[in-house]
Amino acid sequence: MLEKFRVMSQTWVAKVILALITIPFALFGVEYYFRQAGGGADTVAKVDGYAITQTEFTDNLRNQLERMQAGLRDPRLDPALLDTPELRREALAALVNRRLLTGYADRVRLTVPDTLLVNEISQVEAFQEDGKFSRARYEEILRSKGLTPALFESRLRDDLKIQLVQESLAATQWLPQVAVDAFLTLNDQSRELSVAEIPLGAFLGQVKIDESTVKQYYDAHLDRFNVPERVKVQYLVLTADQLAQDVVVTPQEIAKAYADPANQARWGGGETRRASHILITVPPRATDAQRNAAREQAQKVLAEAQAHPDQFAALAKKYSQDPGSSPQGGDLGYFGHGVMAQSFEAAVFGMKSGEVRGPVETEFGFHIIKLTDIKAGKVRSLAEVTPQLTQELRKQHAAQRFAEVAENFSNLVYEQSTSLKPAADKLKLTIKDSGWITRGGAAEAPLLNNPKLLNALFSTESTQDGRNTQAIEVAPNTLVAAHVVAYEPSVARPFAEVKGAIGEMLQREEAAKLVRQEGEARLADLKAGKTVVLTWSAIRQLTRRSALSGGLPSAVVTPAFQVSTTHLPAYTGAVLPTGSYILVRVTQVTPGNPTDATKRKQAETGLTRAYGDATMSSFMAGLRKTADVRLVNKAVLDSNKNN
């Protein structure tokens, strides 16, 4: 059931597993969503009494900003513009939606078994070495992201709960076949079309713009002709990678790390075992009667499994209450020590291949286990892993050194605020020079495009007082401090420089009005059945899809397929982005074919998704109606107060 989730997790787990479930904020509206309330200093909002902290909000906002900035293609766009009140509202709404869904899952006692959690984590390639889950690598990656295993697993458990809620909603969808028929008939409809264009150029000669009109426009829109303020800077960059180049790792350190008990699983020394299980769950806070009933059921299933071990997979599909492994006949795959619950692991590693044992109790209930295979481990030698350990130890030392040097770097650029040279000399860093930079950043110096750094560069302290910026983290383990060496304020371009372009623009605007009047008049005549002399293009038979892909100018596709065809020929028209006017003539309509098997399958997939989205929207609206959502710290929604 979670195969799609598993496939997605293969890229980088933090992009998916830790991604918050974002339901479109427009479902509820900002004012409707939050009510003002009191709370702790670190509380941003409350959902049914559950606090959303400042840290959670900041992390989610930063993730959204980083994703948006990574997608920017125009270096002139000011990255600081991304941090808007609207984006902050959406970031907070995502956290609220997540809490509403996990709260619902808890209320209906939806649990994620340890086995499912472990299986999802062990399948993530980022956590594997030589195709096997590595506990050490798992912890190392989480550490680099500022996470602990407990926090990560808690978030993942919530993500899986949300996934199961969504899966259960999707399973209830029913798509009427008449809806598929109607969709295909309309969507694949083709129309015989021809067009006639009334070009803008034919009317330009009728429009004369005098210089006084141009000057009047210039004076009224002076801000449109401003050259943006800009700076040239010197800057220093401090990174952990720079420090790693000077780190020396000794053979003694490598040998010690190799012998560390915490690393033994990484070298493949421990054997791995493959097991299947049947889980009889015990609800949280179960009574003695409930626990005894589950144990009795497990005993009965155990007896059946031991009597027919070759039918274990079928029994798992029939009896197991683990939604993650039951469809696979209870198969949990291969795992080593330190992965499963302690009692479960002890049983598995004490069994013989083919043995069925149970019931084994864990916090999730009672397990009947079948051991299906054993793989002996092969220990990699110290020589084999020395390059890997050398690199890891160098990074660890560099990270530790970076923390120390970063503080010194920050102090130096702050205390010696009139120049970067003292910091450069002491830390042996190279001062770099930039070209001109606007508030939108500069393509040739991407490190300087950080929103906080750009704000600092254009502050009064930098441009007027001649002070260094603070050391600002522009990327993980990367600090930049800068000093403005040249500043040019924003100025308006002279009238003489822009009057030609303004005159041409005003001429085109006035000509476009004349074109539209002419086009609409001819369209009215055509609809009235009058004879209108036009040069029509050749007739083409187009579907909406082929029209959008180049068959027609995009501005006329929608009107061409919306115009009523009760009486043919039918006529419509539209203004093109160029200012020209285009008339469209429809002479024949052919309905789409709803019996095409391939297209029908595609339509069913798309419509089912649309039905599912609508169901999810309604479901979220229902949760919101009964929830108590309160905004505690309204200031977090104001980007100007949080820079």
Q: Following DSSP, what letter does each residue of 247-309 receive, concatenated?
A: ----HHHHHHHHH-GGGGGGGT-S-EEEEEEEEEE--TT--HHHHHHHHHHHHHHHHHHHH-G
pLDDT, tens only, 399-438:
888 888 999 999 999 999 999 999 999 999 999 999 999 9
Of residues 144 and 13, which shows the higher confidence score? 144
pLDDT, averaged across the chain: 83
Q: How far is CA 387 from CA 247, 265, 547, 585, in A?
A: 14, 18, 58, 72
Helix ranges (DSSP H) in 108-238: 114-122, 135-144, 149-171, 177-187, 201-204, 211-220
| Residues 469 and 457: beta-carbon distance below 8 Å | yes
pLDDT exceeds 80 at position 566: yes
Of residues 167 and 572, which shows the higher confidence score? 572
Of residues 166 and 284, which shows the higher confidence score? 166
Per-residue confidence (pLDDT) for residue 146, from 0 to 100: 67
Per-residue confidence (pLDDT) for residue 24, from 0 to 100: 32
Of residues 642 and 54, which shows the higher confidence score? 54
Per-residue confidence (pLDDT) for residue 270, from 0 to 100: 66
Per-residue confidence (pLDDT) for residue 462, from 0 to 100: 95
Q: How far is CA 624 from CA 32, 169, 405, 406, in A?
A: 10, 17, 49, 45
Structure tokens at 111: 């649990």
Per-residue confidence (pLDDT) for residue 327, from 0 to 100: 81
* pLDDT band at residue 91 under the 50/70/90 scheme: confident
d(CA 217, CA 214) in angstroms, rounded, equals 5
Weakest mean pLDDT among 432-446, 488-502, 514-528, 628-642 = 628-642
* pLDDT band at residue 286 under the 50/70/90 scheme: confident
| Residues 161 and 101: beta-carbon distance below 8 Å | yes
**543 strand-pairing partners:** 190
| Residues 515 and 200: beta-carbon distance below 8 Å | yes
Percent of the chain with pLDDT over 90: 39
* pLDDT band at residue 60 under the 50/70/90 scheme: confident
Structure tokens at 445: 């110096």
| Residues 195 and 556: beta-carbon distance below 8 Å | yes
| Domains 3-176+611-641 and 271-375 fall in the same CATH topology | no
* pLDDT band at residue 260 under the 50/70/90 scheme: confident
Residue type at 308 in one-letter notation: H
Per-residue confidence (pLDDT) for residue 35, from 0 to 100: 39
pLDDT exceeds 70 at position 81: no
Residue type at 292 in one-letter notation: N
pLDDT, tens only, 137-177:
888 788 766 677 878 888 888 888 888 888 777 767 778 88
pLDDT exceeds 80 at position 11: no
Helix (H, G, I), strand (E, B) or coil at 601: helix
Per-residue confidence (pLDDT) for residue 202, from 0 to 100: 93
d(CA 577, CA 493) in angstroms, rounded, equals 27
Of residues 320 and 285, which shows the higher confidence score? 320
Per-residue confidence (pLDDT) for residue 163, from 0 to 100: 85
Q: Which of 358, 364, 318, 319 is nearest to 114 (CA)?
A: 364
Structure tokens at 577: 């982005």
Of residues 431 and 59, which shows the higher confidence score? 431
| Residues 18 and 155: beta-carbon distance below 8 Å | yes
Percent of the chain with pLDDT over 70: 88
DSSP code, position 228: P
Rounded to the nearest 10 degrees, what angle do helices 251-259 and 382-415 cross at? 110
pLDDT exceeds 60 at position 291: yes
Per-residue confidence (pLDDT) for residue 1, from 0 to 100: 33
Per-residue confidence (pLDDT) for residue 243, from 0 to 100: 84
Per-residue confidence (pLDDT) for residue 165, from 0 to 100: 85
pLDDT exceeds 90 at position 362: no
**368 strand-pairing partners:** 278
Helix (H, G, I), strand (E, B) or coil at 445: coil
Contacts of 563 (CB under 8 A, 6+ apart): 570, 571, 572, 584, 586
Length of the chain as a residue count: 643
pLDDT exceeds 80 at position 555: yes
Of residues 107 and 13, which shows the higher confidence score? 107
The per-residue b/e assignment along 149-162, b for 16 or more CB within 10 angstroms, e otherwise, is eeebbebbbbbbbb
CB neighbours of residue 443 within 10 Å: 11
| Residues 99 and 50: beta-carbon distance below 8 Å | yes
The mean per-residue pLDDT over the stretch 197-205 comes to 94
Strand boundaries in 376-502, DSSP class E: 432-433, 437-438, 472-475, 478-488, 491-492
d(CA 451, CA 474) in angstroms, rounded, equals 9
pLDDT exceeds 70 at position 19: no
Helix (H, G, I), strand (E, B) or coil at 444: coil
* pLDDT band at residue 80 under the 50/70/90 scheme: low
The mean per-residue pLDDT over the stretch 111-115 comes to 78
Of residues 341 and 468, which shows the higher confidence score? 468
The mean per-residue pLDDT over the stretch 99-114 comes to 84
The mean per-residue pLDDT over the stretch 541-566 comes to 87
Helix (H, G, I), strand (E, B) or coil at 53: strand
Residue type at 624 in one-letter notation: R
Per-residue confidence (pLDDT) for residue 212, from 0 to 100: 95
Q: Are strands 190-198 and 478-488 parallel, antiparallel or unpaired?
A: unpaired
Dihedral angle over CA of 124, 127, 133, 136, nearest 10: -160
Give domain limits for the chain. 3-176+611-641, 190-207+501-590, 230-250+383-489, 271-375
pLDDT exceeds 60 at position 509: yes
Q: Which fold has domain 3-176+611-641?
A: Triger factor/SurA peptide-binding fold (1.10.4030)
Residue 85 phi/psi, 5-degree rounding, is: -60, -35
Distance of CA 284 to the CA centre of its chain: 33
Per-residue confidence (pLDDT) for residue 453, from 0 to 100: 92
| Residues 338 and 330: beta-carbon distance below 8 Å | no
* pLDDT band at residue 13 under the 50/70/90 scheme: very low
Q: Which fold has domain 271-375?
A: Chitinase A; domain 3 (3.10.50)
